[in-house]
Amino acid sequence: MSTPPDPRKELVALFDEMGSILELLGANGFKVNASRKVARVLEDMTGDITAYRDDPKGLQALDGIGKSSAQKICQYLQTGEMVEYDQLLEQVPEGLLAVLEIPGLGPKTVRAMWEHAGVESIEDLERAIAESGLDDVPRMGAKTISNITDSIEFMKKSGDRTPLGTALPLAEKIIEHLGARPGVTRIAWAGSLRRGRDTIGDIDILACCEDPPGLIEHFQATKGVEKVLLAGDTKCSIRLERGIQVDLRVVPEPAFGAALMYFTGSKEHNVTLRERAIKAGMRLNEYGLFPDDGEDEPPQARGVQPVAAATEESIYAALNLPMRPPELREDRDDLESVPDLVTVEDIKAELHAHTTASDGHLSLEELVAVAKARGFHTIAVTDHSRSSVQANGLDENRLLAHIDAIHQCNEDTKGITVLAGSEVDILSDGRLDYDDDLLAKLDVVVASPHVALSQDPKKATTRLLAAIAHPLVHIIGHPTGRIINRRPGLSPDIDALVAAAAEHDTALEINANPQRLDLRDVHVRAAVDAGCRIAIDTDAHAESHFDFLRYGVITARRGRCTAADCVNCLPAKALHAWLKSKRT
């Protein structure tokens, strides 16, 4: 078997699947978590995995990859096979892994159905339900079976995870709906949404309320509810018509901080905090941080008063840790390291925006007015170049006239600097869409890939390196060209790109459009570590697109980006000096 074009993605899938198989076989939690950890480490890797083909010790230097896992990785890179994976796969029916993908079914339940009802595929499960074959499976009541049936149907008609840009506005509307009810004293979303992941499995909401049953009933009346999946005194799960599951938990107000921390996660971060608490002679759970008195019964059940519980800040402080922003709770860093992350308020310039000259919906004057109203000191007008025919890209004559119009607008407008730019296509061979004489006339050049987005990783790397090294390019726009849930985009060697970007003082963009979020978070982290400049741009085509800025900032924060790393946060004088440095 030959090595696939992107073996890193293949290895992520293999180790993730190994974790699932181990769970189904009832392996101990350490082995399961170790496999999952390797998958996460490889998923976050930004360099070329094939560089480790004959270097297991180099792999072991990566936190989370042990000797055994390193050997498996090298074996796969050398042969295209992994013997232990194949051996594990032989121990479970092939279709059982698909059953594990059904929403709401965990490995213990799937294993029980396999052992007691002979379920080895989704088809087997549907047949067992139709023939009452699950009746002998432990803890498998009529309500559970009904929920499984609904989940199968939901899985068949639903697509991928929900993008952040869809989930966050939805969560805000639900919280507004619930928060308006009298007696609600605290309410917030949690889970992967609060951590700012680019896609969301479901929405978790926590609330404190004087009348929990009333709030649960009010929650079930949320607009667009397709089905109530579960309803209790303090917990309720609904599925909306658009296919998103929303879970509400009503928690005691004195324990709100502990619950928010627990249900925000990540699971790995919670484990790390619990281990730290144990070393300090304490116990941490969703009800608070408690002194450990050696009793088996949970401390909150025995009336033990917590050391801290009401706020997350108090719990971190009691563990002698700085408050950790939710975006940094993926357990990728040491707990003591918390940078001063960039905020929306830090952004003072928009360097990638479109007008009706190409495919935007705002005239030049309207775009400038919106940017000025947002408080920006600079707006760059960067309409598409000629190769983007579908986006009404500008040929040379149209661009020259557009540059004159933008410069005139700058002279006529007070309180904001208007720059003439272009989003210039990076052609498949690394050439740019305009010649250098024309590029030199632009105040800002955003070079972006729009075609050949399934290009071989090595060719993609060479292509993007050429654009990064071009002396007239300021920013590489949405470097991989991905569209979330629709197009994976390019898979270049990110480590090589960020090293080159740092060397040539070229910024890499986080395109804040929630369909893109490109650079993605792990790429941002690699860029920040390399000392590479970051641009956070909305790629605005309409007035409402300026609101996308928060998604770009969330992604930047997940990559440990500070205001000092971001060109959009520079004062006007410093920003304009950097832009002009590429013209001297």
> Which of the four pLDDT bands, split at 50, 70 and 90, describes residue 154?
low
How much of the chain exceeds pLDDT 70, in percent? 98
Q: Tell the residue number behind the tokens 């498949």, with chain if given.
A: 428
Please tell me the distance from the alpha carbon of residue 261 to that of residue 313, in angstroms, as a whole number: 10
> pLDDT of 223-234, one tens digit each?
889 899 999 999
Longest alpha-carbon distance in the chain: 80
12 vs 174: which has the higher pLDDT: 174
Report pLDDT for 159.
Answer: 56
Instruction: Give me the chain's average pLDDT, please.
Output: 93
Task: Say which residues have a Cβ less than 8 Å from residue 464's Cβ, sequence separation at least 6.
Answer: 426, 430, 449, 476, 479, 490, 492, 497
Extract the tokens encoding 28. 């101990």
Helices (H) and strands (E) in the chain, counts: 23, 16
188 DSSP β-pair partners: 206
CATH numeric code, 7-89: 1.10.150.110
Q: Would you say residue 103 has pLDDT above 90?
A: no
* Closest to 477 measured CA to CA, from 521, 446, 515, 503: 446
Domain parsing of the chain, residue ranges: 7-89, 96-157, 162-250, 255-328, 344-581
Number of other residues whose CB lies within 10 A of the CB of residue 436: 10
User: Quick check: do 96-157 and 344-581 share a fold?
Assistant: no
Please tell me the distance from the alpha carbon of residue 81 to that of residue 542, in angstroms, as a whole number: 49
How much of the chain exceeds pLDDT 90, in percent? 72
> Is residue 508 within 8 Å of residue 476, measured between CB atoms?
yes
Domain 344-581: which topology?
Answer: TIM Barrel (3.20.20)
> Measured between alpha carbons, how far is residue 278 from residues 308, 312, 500 in Å?
15, 18, 44
Extract the tokens encoding 563. 């205001």
CATH numeric code, 162-250: 3.30.460.10
Please tell me the distance from the alpha carbon of residue 320 to that of residue 324, in angstroms, as a whole number: 12
What's the one-letter identity of residue 255?
A: A
> pLDDT of 120-153, one tens digit each?
988 889 989 998 889 888 888 888 888 888 778 7
Task: Say which residues have a Cβ less than 8 Å from residue 88's Cβ, sequence separation at least 6.
Answer: 18, 21, 22, 25
> Is residue 203 within 8 Å of residue 237, measured between CB atoms?
no
- Judged by average pLDDT, the poorest of 118-122, 214-218, 400-404 is 118-122
Kindly give the pairing relationship between strand 199-200 and strand 162-163.
antiparallel
Number of other residues whose CB lies within 10 A of the CB of residue 120: 17
Extract the tokens encoding 2. 């030959």
Extract the tokens encoding 553. 């900032």
Domain 255-328: which topology?
Answer: Beta Polymerase; domain 3 (3.30.210)
| CA atoms in the 13 A half-sphere facing the CB of 153 | 9
Strand order in the sheet with 378-384: 349-350, 378-384, 417-425, 444-448, 475-476, 507-511, 534-537
The pTM (predicted TM-score) of the whole model is 0.81
CATH numeric code, 96-157: 1.10.150.20
Q: Tell the residue number behind the tokens 């101990």, with chain if given.
A: 28
